[in-house]
Amino acid sequence: MRRTALLVSAALLTGLLPLASAGAATGAEEPPPVPVDRFEGEVPFASQPAEGIFTWGGDSDDPPKLELAARDDAPEGDKVLSGTYDISGYGGFTHDFAANEPGHDWSAHKGIRFWWDGKNTGKKVNFEIKDGGSNGEASELWTTSFTDEWAGWHQVEIPFTDFAYRTDYQPVGGIDQNLGLTEMWGYALTLPTGTPGTFAMDGVELYGKADPALTTKVLTGAAVYPVKEGGTARVPISVATTGSAPLAEPVTVAYESAGGSAGAGTDYTPVKGEFTFPAGTASGAAHTVSVPTLKDKAAESAETIPLKLTVTGAKAPAETPQVVIDAHGLPYLDTRLPVKRRVADLLSRMSLDEKAGQMTQAERNAVGTGGDIAAYDLGSLLSGGGSTPTPNTAAAWAKMIDGFQLRAQATRFQIPLIYGVDAVHGHNNLVGATVLPHNIGIGATRDPGTAEKAGAVTAAEVRATGIPWDFAPCLCVSRDERWGRSYESFGEDPALVKQMETVVQGLQGARSGKDLDRNDKVLATAKHFVGDGGTEYGSSTTGSYTIDQGVTKVTRQELEAVHLAPFQEAVDRGIGTVMPSYSSLDIIGDDEGPVKMHADAAMINGVLKDRMGFDGFVISDWQAIDQLPGDYASDVRTSVNAGLDMIMVPSAYKDFRTTLIDEVKAGRIGERRIDDAVSRILTQKFKLGLFEKPYADTSGAAAIGSAGHRSVARTAAAESQVLLKNAGGVLPLKKSQKVYVAGSNADDIGNQTGGWTVTWQGSSGKITDGTTVLEGMKKAAPGATISYSKDASAPTDGYDVGVVVVGETPYAEGIGDVGNGNDLELTAADRAAVDKVCGAMKCAVLIVSGRPQLIGDRLGDIDALVASWLPGTEGDGVADVLYGAKPFTGQLPVTWPKSQAQLPINVGDTAYDPQFPFGWGLTTLRTPPGGGTLTLKALALAAAAAQKAGSAEAGRAVVGKARLLVQQKVGQDITPAVAKPFADADHLLLSGRYADAVAKLTEAYRAA
């Protein structure tokens, strides 16, 4: 049957206007329904920035198939939106309003309703609306659900009061967690998973008169008000209206101090009263309630005083505000005591529930406004990649984290949170931060000093936003460039990775941990323990990944020499935390088969903690224990008994904590294991000074993205550039030359910074502040003629030289695995740009990428070739070496293959025939020495002397001269007989064996 008659023509005409005025409802009259979607074709299948309906899903099979279908039984009009779905992960559809028009005002209405053609499946369908923000894909999500439990058409009515702030995901990290309804951007439905289905929907509209509680609310300044014993807490209570209009009706607030752990009359003076905000009161007006506390001489834990509020005429605060009398006089609060004694004292007072909370880490979005922090005694929060406050500013980060820390003050012992982020190449989640080269570029610098400075810049910018913990550095030894995390590695040689671990001191300061309480240092994390860089291609069972999170199959000798060595170095440097890998370890000959690292007690307890002497704490990776075999209780039991101290359970923190407690009570996890884990966590919190200063010290915020920090990043970018070929001395460029610039990565800050930049996967385009390569070139040669044509479609006549900047677009983790929609080939557009420019003039090709790209078929047509890696926000650094302000000094941190079929290919392989060997890198710093073999003999003697004297500086200088001599003779004729000893020489150099390195270089020289 049709429902068109329910919509009178006047209402229909009004409703089809894009905005429904909040003032449309006056007095007791109920406003007419306002159509949102009639599905008659007035809203197309389209996406942002245009208005439209579009589908989405977890993979290519998950988005539903939609059509506007004519049906005789359509409840409204002639057509309905119908669809089919078969979803394994997640999938659904969205109607976004146009982003170039104002958001819609829904505040006059009670809720949203629509017709649903039920199949009586008993399955839930999630329905969400989009509130505030700049557009539908940058809004705040509010969600509810309905259950398909009828057959045929049924009108589903959802009042706006049923919607809850979505805690598992927010596209821009959330906005204000207030359903304002004045700037709405559409809705979305998430369809059921597991079985195929069909659906039909019609007549989405707004209905009813707005609930006054949605337009007027009473707020408190905070949920928690700490006060020192004997002080007076002051709780501001304010009134706010949608659109900031004056109150239409009076609002009365009655208050009373009642309940809590503090004693009325002994710990505080009870308060009780009532006040009224009269009609006409301005939105934002406030009244303060004072709660005096009483002082005694006893040492006590924190005590709470809830201030119960009863509101008439408005929506009451979501939570009862609590006054908290600070803990005082207890030994763990005494800064004069050694950390070990403070930890022991605090641990002795804690309950099992409190200890379990300390071992639990939740994601910020999952805890919403943070009430669960005290309710579950949570010890830690994190921001996943791209999980940021709105606006994404340093001040907003500090405010957000301070708000969470305030919640922890309502716990019995006021144990502060430790907040962590993945700041893997600078404070990369923060727009405007200094973004440094990814680790593969830092490895190319061969400069431990640069690595340490990079860590120091990262630490200073991260700590200035209130974050004391960084999930970095990655100490993986990348053995296969098909891995989507290749760029997170310093290189393929453990000796190189160890050399770059000066980054730990940059992040943490002194090895003893004495600097951790500084406002420019953070707790660092060595990851991923152990062997994640050695996973075999095709061994991953995670989704469509091909290598990430797979199996590392090695001999025990290879495990020790390649993958474990960097972690011993990190432990020796005082690393504070270690994160196990998602991957599995299969040690050849032990007959155990692959063991998930999060379950590997022999490696975590036995090797890391016992043999290596690691005294920090072990933090799991994101939901990693869910990948262990068995049920959830088994996952918890196995991982904790294997040595994990804190578990990253982004949204499952309640289940994890409950399960952990149950497992301990059942005797399947020992209390000594729990006490060890909590002691390790508390030790780092005390070292960080969080008990004394839990809140953000923003005094260093002015340095975020500063000229000084960007100078460090600029130098790192310059040092990371590896000159692979330079026929005819094309580089450095001359400022007098007319330069033709082309390529997809010449003028794209997003591509230049790569994954883990602002969002988890990163993205192309202007995503943060910085200088592109093209902009850097124009600044380096301000008077020069520099023309840019991205696709090289502009005429090429009249130029002296071309610079083509090509490579990859951003990705992170297994999303970037080769075979998961990726390969190591340049795109067709990039190949065309290289061919056109290099066919028309002398050219230099820069490859901006997280790993080597296959360029051999074009190498003969390219005069100069540069591996630029992912240089970060400072394209000026790339321009510095292009124009000779700084010399090319970088060396390959990984072997550059000739073909994908060669992979994996690494220094030390028996068969070794790369395009460019490990350690290759021409320089414009100095000319190679003359003298051939006679000079090499002299250098061999000097290298032996340096090695005997233990002089690393002299040894590196001698080997560097020999390397230049070999590269000059070899040119581009890099045969296996040359490549293998050349690469072996670089490994020997990194290992401090200078005389052996020169001997290998002499072998390469003779083979050339």
Sign (positive or negative) of CA dihedral 11, 15, 21, 22: positive
**What is the spatial distance between Cα 875 and Cα 897, in angstroms, rounded to a whole number?**
26
**What is the spatial distance between Cα 158 and Cα 150, in angstroms, rounded to a whole number?**
17
Catalytic residue of the set 148, 354, 813, 1003: 813
Pick from 927, 808, 803: nearest CA to 866: 803
Query: Among this protein's residues, is 621 annotated catalytic?
Result: yes
Helix %, strand %, coil % of the chain (to 5): 30, 25, 45
Query: Among this protein's residues, is 662 annotated catalytic?
Result: no
How far is CA 469 from each of CA 463, 507, 613, rounded to the nearest angstrom?
8, 9, 21
Amino acid making up residue 955: G
Q: What is the 3-state secondary structure (H, E, C) of 608-673?
A: HHHHCCCCCEEECCCCHHHHCCCCHHHHHHHHHHCCCCEEECCCCHHHHHHHHHHHHHCCCCCHHH
**What is the spatial distance between Cα 940 and Cα 996, in angstroms, rounded to a whole number?**
8
Asked if 767 and 884 count as a contact pair (C-beta separation under 8 A), the reply is no
Torsional class of 370: left (φ above 0), alpha (ψ -120 to 50), beta (otherwise): left
Sign (positive or negative) of CA dihedral 77, 79, 85, 91: negative
How far is CA 496 from each of CA 493, 532, 569, rounded to the nearest angstrom?
5, 17, 12
Q: If 0-12 CB within 10 Å is exposed, 13-18 middle and 19+ buried, where does residue 902 land?
A: middle
Asked if 460 and 713 count as a contact pair (C-beta separation under 8 A), the reply is no
Which DSSP category does 560 fall into? Answer: I
Asked if 594 and 584 count as a contact pair (C-beta separation under 8 A), the reply is yes
Catalytic residue of the set 117, 128, 621, 747: 621
Q: Are strands 577-580 and 617-618 parallel, antiparallel or unpaired?
A: parallel
**What is the spatial distance between Cα 518 and Cα 508, in angstroms, rounded to a whole number?**
9
Torsional class of 193: left (φ above 0), alpha (ψ -120 to 50), beta (otherwise): beta
Pick from 423, 489, 490: nearest CA to 458: 423
How far is CA 531 from each of CA 470, 474, 840, 900, 990, rounded to the nearest angstrom?
21, 11, 46, 22, 20
Any idea which residues carry the catalytic annotation? 621, 813
